[in-house]
Amino acid sequence: MNLTHARVVTAAVSSALAGVSVALLAPTSQAVDIWTYTCDKIVKGKAVDADFESAVYTGTGNCKASNGAPASGKITKVFELVSRDNKRVGCAVEESYDENGHAVRFAGTASKEKVEAMECSSNE
């Protein structure tokens, strides 16, 4: 990833995370259904970009998808990772391009055992 692409991705992540925060604070009748994964526990991994406090997070143990999120496979749009003790993490999508110039959107991967999220920010 070159420096220009990294800046575009970083700006997109910041914008997407701001949108997740606003949607999560909106009244239920007006809130957009954000894909959600609820797991027993959430573990914070390495920082992705210190300027925007985004990091890699992993939800582990009995993960359940809701609000239309796929139960397994690639996650391709903004989503929320929630632990059963109600810790919440908003996760953004990274957009890049394949060798044919097609846009590729990726935010993480999901399974019943764990959800790996690439660009997230905690509300704590």
Q: How far is CA 85 from CA 40, 41, 82, 91, in A?
A: 8, 8, 8, 18
Task: Note the pLDDT of residue 120.
Answer: 85
Confidence of residue 47 (pLDDT cuts 50, 70, 90): confident
Asked if 109 and 56 count as a contact pair (C-beta separation under 8 A), the reply is no
Task: Note the pLDDT of residue 95.
Answer: 83
Give the Cα separation of 78 and 109 in Å (integer). 12
Give the Cα separation of 40 and 59 in Å (integer). 7
Confidence of residue 119 (pLDDT cuts 50, 70, 90): confident
Look up the domain containing 49 and give its range: 3-122
Model confidence, pTM: 0.69
pLDDT (mean) for 103-118: 90
At position 117, the amino acid (one-letter code) is A
